[in-house]
Structure 1
């Protein structure tokens, strides 16, 4: 995964695609949250947990022995923090973690705003290796989010989760194919990057399949570009990074 900001004014961010086993051998389900309609970015859209990388995330990453590029490590820390804050899931963390501990840690995180004191309070350690690189997206415009996408596996998913009620209205679990069908029926809205990643994820029925599929392709920053196709303007992405759909007509694109 390439180091540093994709563009000079880009804002580093992280997104975690959380998997849990599907029931009775069905395809894995993914955790999605519906953003409040009042949010400036992707208001009302269904998204994966995530957010911008804070300075405290970079400071914590610099203290850890991980063998990763520091930008990558800081993004993983941000992904762990945002997932806990937004859904209550303590993923990418080593230690004794039960439902009550996770709930208490989430409340503390809301109060203190950074992950390091939460980890210290509960005697936990970050497990950055639990997050697996999937993609990196950054539009080429002023102060765009330079977002690194990671995969994480919850396993059985027998845990309590709830939206944070500040940035999101509710959360739900659905397979990638189900989420796309919900969008087609107008039940949820998805912005261009989310739709393209759901289409790619729909090729993989399990977490292990998705991780193996991701390993087949390089992680290059994807910056969607406008291109005319058969007389109509489309938003396009490269065709060599494992995405089954690489363009969409501008008339239907949702960009956030």
Structure 2
């Protein structure tokens, strides 16, 4: 028995998240930047997630001013992905102009003061490269039992060698670190990390890639269509599942194991 989802309504809270890659120093699998959210946060408190957050009205206004050929809503999500990364981690991704650790720190402080990205870009003489963030997936876990439902677009970005400074934003997060996808899954299994359902599925998919190029190629194969999990009976147990044709190696897990935020 399967409870297939209805078409998602447009009422989800728009959000953008970035999976940032860097090359491992030992030549192993790529490392990904993750944050552990503060336990006081209403959504996914205490969970390990990728940097990101809501798409603000100011992101839509900034996107409209860029003259991008992208769909305006898609452009706004990419703006938010770049802004949230700077705000949460201090990394300046998707930026064209002079960028170094000192300027990134200054931009981050200015962003906190201005609470909008456009004046920061003007002050730093930066422009946005929206193509630097690659659409990976889109999760909309529509469920009336959840207090808030985020319609989250996930993106990929590459730092190359990863010679960068990062610093946690203590207002929302308690920890900021680099870890391989498989390392995060192993830490979750041992109880060292808490990961919610979409993060687990995305980590399983990301663990397949030996480098950023392979991940980017996978994105070209599987467009970032909306993923809305649904319930199904498997072997006498109730499972939370996703469609099996979207590039994910694991398409579900028993409901009694699921952490949903």
- TM-score of the pair, normalised by structure 2: 0.94
Is the Cα–Cα contact under 8 Å of residues 139 and 223 in structure 1 kept in the other structure?
yes
> What's the CA shift string for 1:112-147, capped at 9, x where partnerless?
111100000000001100000100000113541000
Aligned length: 252
Tell me what 2:179 maps to: 174
Separation in 1, partners of 2:8, 2:177: 31
Residue segments in structure 2 that go unaligned for 5+ positions in a row = 1-6
Aligned pair partner of 1:30 in 29, 32, 37: 32
8 Å CA contact 2:35, 2:173 repeated in 1: yes
Aligned partners of 2:135 and 2:154 also within 8 Å: yes
Residue 52 (1) aligns with residue 54 (2):
yes
Cα shift at 1:66: 2.1
Contact 2:82-2:92 within 8 A present in 1 as well: yes
Q: Does 1:207 align with 2:215?
A: no
- Other structure's SS at 2:131 match: helix
Q: Does the alignment pair 1:117 with 2:119?
A: yes
CA drift at 1:6: 4.8
Contact persistence 1:6–1:146 (CA under 8 A): no
Counterparts of 1:72 and 1:9 in 2: how far apart (Å)? Answer: 16
- 2:47/2:196 contact within 8 Å kept: yes
Distance in 2 (CA, whole Å) between partners of 1:8 and 1:21 is 37
Structure 1: segments with no counterpart, 5+ residues: none
Post-superposition Cα deviations, 1:40-80, rounded to whole Å, max 9, x if no partner, equal: 00000000000010000000000112210111100000000
* SS state at 2:193 partner: coil
- Contact kept? 2:136, 2:223, Cα under 8 Å: no
Question: Which of the residues 225, 233, 239 maps onto 1:220?
Answer: 225
Residue 24 (structure 1) shift: 2.9
Cα deviations across residues 140-183 of structure 1 (Å, max 9, x unaligned)? Answer: 13541000000000111111101100000010101101111111
Runs of 4+ in structure 1 over 4 Å off: none
Structure 1 residue 8: Cα displacement? 2.8
Structure 2: distance between partners of 1:238 and 1:192 = 14
TM-score by length of 1: 0.96
Name 1:187's counterpart in structure 2.
192
Contact 2:90 2:166 in 1 (8 A): yes
Q: 2: CA distance between counterparts of 1:113 and 1:223?
A: 32
Q: Do the aligned partners of 1:13 and 1:50 also contact (CA within 8 Å) in 2? A: yes
Q: Which residue in the other structure is 1:151 paired with? A: 156
Distance, in Å, in 2 between the alignment partners of 1:62 and 1:43 is: 33
Instruction: Report the Cα distance in structure 2 between the residues aligned to 1:11 and 1:135, rounded to whole angstroms.
Output: 16
